[in-house]
Structure formats: structure tokens, C-alpha cells
Amino acid sequence: MNKICIVFLLLFSNFFFAQKKCGTDAKLQELIKNKPGFAAKYNAMKDFIYNPNSRKNVFSRQSNAANTVVTIPVVFHILYKNTNQNISEAQIQTQLDVINRDFRKLNTDFNSVVPNVFKPFAADIEINFCKATIAPNGTVTTGITRKSVPDTFVFEEEYSTSSGQIPWDTSKYLNVWVGRFTTLNLLGFAIPPSIPIQDNDGIVISDRAFGTTGTAVTPNRRGRTVTHEIGHYLGLFHPWGDGDCLEGDGVADTPATFQDYDGCPTFPSNLYACVSSTNGSMFMNYMDYVDDACMAFFTLGQKEVMRNILAGPRLSLLTSNGCGDLGLDNFEALNAISVYPNPVADYFMITSPQLQIDKLEIYNVLGQLVKTQKLIQNNNEINIQEFPRGTYFLRIYNQDKFLKSDKIIKK
């Protein structure tokens, strides 16, 4: 009888772990609940993503042209409670290889997993990922940190604290924390982009859903949990959105569903489709919950969202020297200074990934100076909540040297 109970418990726990559970939605609600003013700023960021009138395309401004391939430096923070969880460099490399294939549409399972009717929607996201070679202090690095943590360590809550690993500069690196969750069926979560970027920003992943070898466990042994969470990190939502079939994920070429698919469904399926169709749901998209072996692509619409994020809240990643000096000239550095969202409700951001900026002046249409603010970091939040509606002109400086002008519209 005891043996039967033990077998049942093992099967029961494996069943729950097999369900691809992403904690990003819950983390977002936690931020909305616990951070005053976060909801309004997050909604402004969403408007920036989906409203083309709220942004300028940084890729079209820079001399490298619109469809340039960008490289994002990654640092992997390994937090382990025993030697088994102190995963190998080889396991880390398999995960890096997976995301580099998935985000360039080079995954070998694309043709076998994606139905022909959906293949025209598939996109090369034109993003590469590299293990950081230069640490924030300028020293050489392997792009990996390791730390032994006690059995009482709660990975999902303490990952970015001094008990875990303080993130490297989140404006310059994608921080990936790898460890063992205390919540049984949680595989990972991401901190979504916001205004401003949060101090615990990055993605957090179970070592059992990381890479294709070592501690990774089937059906999450193909590295797609990290692909999925980076999608959230770059602004993507689940296809079911809030589950009410009103907006879905806000992307036109991903058919809305009212809940997630899991396992390996048979194509076509309208089981959870908001609107039934011949082709059914796009459950093989990376942003659904199906098994790793049954997801294989991002869409062109999802690419637009991710590139918009890289033109706004995560702009500074584009010119990070975490994988070596990019050597941008002064013209490109000036063009990389970005103001967003625009039009703006209450707050906007100024991001300067390459040039130091230290002062902002805001003028009304009569030429009157209405605000001066010190700028102390790469990403600066500007509050114009009290301003009347209208057009305002910006002047940006470093050490009293004028660098750039811009304008915003207060709506």
C-alpha cells in the first residue's frame, strides 16, 4: 500500500511539473498591487508598444537601418542549494544555443511543428544573444555568476536580493537567474518592460526547465521556457490575454484564445479558440503553454512588438558593451537618445544608452522655461502630471553642453 502511495505521489508531482506554468502574469499583478503608480506607467508602456503614433522607430533613425540584427548581452546567475543544482557551463551553453536559434527562426523543428498555413506568419526576430564578456565594472567575465544558497532560500522571492544575486546593470544586460523554485509547478517568469525598468528586472527560470541537458526534465527539456519568458521580457503577452476574448495579446496575427493549450494538441484545434476557424488556434506559438517539442515560432506581429520595446524601454540594450565595445560614432550615439512614450499622459522617459546626459529643460510653445530636471542615469523618468495639454519642447544637456532637442505632446 505504501509503495502504491509513493508511486501515486511521484506521478502526481510529475503531472504538475509537466504543465508549463509561467508566473509572469502573477508577477505583473504583484507589481501593480504593491508599487504605487506602476499601473499607470505600465499602461503608458503598453500604449507605446501598440500605438504607432506613440513612438519613433529607433532602427530607422540609426545608420544601421531598420532590419538590423541586434545583440543582447546576457548574464546567467546560478543560485544552487546543492551540487546537482550548480548546473554545468555545458547546460548553460545549450540554452544559449536554443534561444539564438529560436529568435532567428533557425530551429530545426520549425518545418515539422509549424503547420503550412501558419508558416507565412513566422518571423526571424533578428535578435542574437551573447554571454557577457565584460562585467559592469569593466573586467573580463564568463557571463556566469554562481552562489550557494541555503535550503531555506525562496528562489522566486529572493533571487535578486543580497541573499541571492544582485542584478548587473539592467539597462545593459539581460539578467537570467537559474535555480529551484519552491512552488512546485512554476517553471519561470519574467519582469515585463515598464516605465521605468524595475530593479529586479530580468527572467527567472527553474533549472529543471533550462537548456537541453543536465538537470532539465522532459517535457521542458528543449529550452523553450527561456524562449517564452524572453518573449515576455520583450513585451509579449500570452495569446489569451485576460481570457475574456476582447483583446487577446493585442497582436493581429496571433488568433485569440480564452485559455492556454498544453501538452501536444492535434492540429487544427478550436478547443479554446475565441473564434472557430479552419486553421484553429496557433497553439504551437512560443507564447502558449504547450510542451517544448510542440512550440516552434514567433509571428511577424510579435516581432513588431519586441522591436518596439527595443526602441523604447529596452533601448539601452542595443548599445551595451557587455559583449565588447560596439564603437558607435557620436552621430549614432546622439540619435540613440530616445524620448518615450510620445504623446504622453503623466510620465515619460529619456534614455541615453551611449552618451552621458545630466540636465533636461522643458519649454512651452511660448518659449517659456517650465521645468528643469537633473538626469542622473541612463533611464530617467520625467513627471509632467501637472502640465496642461499641449506641445512642449525639450533641450538635453551634458555639463551645460547642449546635445539634442526634441518635442513631446501632453495628451
Could you give the residue numbers annotated as active site? 229
Q: What distance in Å separates the CA atoms of residue 145 and residue 152, rounded to the nearest whole number? A: 20
Within 10 angstroms of residue 61's Cβ, the number of other Cβ atoms is: 16
Give strand ranges (E) for 82-217. Answer: 127-131, 144-148, 174-179, 186-190, 203-206
> Which distant-in-sequence residues (6+ apart) come within 8 Å of 209 by Cβ?
187, 188, 216, 217, 220, 221, 225, 226
The amino acid occupying position 238 is H
> Which distant-in-sequence residues (6+ apart) come within 8 Å of 101 by Cβ?
107, 108
User: CB–CB of 309/49 below 8 Å?
Assistant: yes
Q: How many helices (H) and strands (E) does the chain have?
A: 10, 14
Within 10 angstroms of residue 177's Cβ, the number of other Cβ atoms is: 24
Half-sphere exposure at residue 254, Cβ-oriented, CA atoms within 13 angstroms: 31
